[in-house]
């Protein structure tokens, strides 16, 4: 993260022996604290937009692949198929309406259940990443506040050097890696499957991978 590099750079200047600290430095450090808040907000918004797009992709999978397969399986039931064939043959508008009124809500409930099953891992992963990002920026604010204090009073800088730098644990790469994997998993989910079992299997594989990804953070 650029922000961490900037903080490390400031720390580096502080830790080069008895440097002369300009009077403007504390004010600049305070301004940096304000920028940390703005950058955090921007990053969270980008994260939310990314996962909004992933939820749209899940909806596409539900609408384009899972729902047609589900409807086909429903009408492959001999009892339901026979009733529907009779309704079509007799061509009575009221019978068709009655059938749809009875079956429609049941079908929609099943579709909603599947969507929730696929969306939940996405929501949980987004929440986990957002918490990790906020924790990191909170840590950055703590460090920046400490830097501001050091700029005002540069005593004991050498003693505190390792402790402050150690607080800048590198979680950036992990978060970027998780987001890349999320994109990859959803891309695989959206790939057209040749047969019905594959469509069902890949949905389950997707859920398993997303839960594993969430637990890795």
Average pLDDT over residues 49-70: 91
Q: What pLDDT, in 10s, does the model give residues 126-153?
A: 999 999 889 888 888 887 777 777 665 6
Residue 194 has pLDDT above 70, yes or no: no
Residue 10 belongs to a domain = no
| Residue 198 contacts residue 205 (beta carbons within 8 Å) | no
pLDDT band at 181 (very low <50, low <70, confident <90, very high): confident
What's the structural domain count of the chain? 1
- Beta-carbon neighbour count of residue 74 at 10 Å? 15
Question: Distance between CA atoms of 9 and 194, rounded to whole angstroms?
Answer: 54
Is the whole-model pTM more than 0.85?
A: no
User: Lowest mean pLDDT: which of 80-89, 121-130, 156-165, 198-207?
Assistant: 156-165
Give the chain's end-to-end CA distance (angstroms, integer).
17
Residue 15 belongs to a domain = no
Residue range of the domain that includes 56: 22-215
Residue 12 belongs to a domain = no
């Amino acid at each position: 993260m650029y922000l961490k590099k900037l903080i490390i750079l400031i720390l580096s200047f502080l830790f080069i022996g008895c440097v002369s600290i300009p009077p403007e430095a504390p004010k600049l450090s305070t301004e940096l604290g304000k920028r940390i808040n703005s950058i955090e907000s921007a990053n969270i918004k980008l994260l939310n937009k990314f996962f909004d797009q992933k939820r749209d992709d899940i909806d596409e999978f539900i609408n384009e692949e899972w729902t047609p397969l589900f409807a086909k399986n429903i009408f492959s039931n001999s009892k339901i198929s026979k009733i529907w064939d009779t309704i079509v043959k007799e061509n009575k508008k009221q019978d068709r309406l009655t059938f749809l009124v009875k079956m429609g809500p049941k079908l929609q409930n099943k579709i909603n259940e599947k969507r929730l099953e696929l969306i939940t891992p996405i929501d949980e992963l987004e929440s986990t990443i957002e918490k990790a990002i906020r924790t990191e920026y909170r840590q950055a604010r703590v460090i920046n506040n400490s830097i501001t204090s050091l700029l005002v009073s540069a005593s004991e800088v050498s003693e505190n050097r390792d402790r402050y730098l150690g607080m800048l644990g590198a979680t950036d790469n992990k978060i970027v890696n998780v987001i890349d994997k999320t994109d990859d998993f959803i891309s695989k989910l959206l790939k057209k499957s040749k047969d019905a079992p594959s469509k069902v299997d890949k949905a389950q594989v997707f859920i398993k991978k997303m839960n594993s990804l969430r637990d890795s953070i």
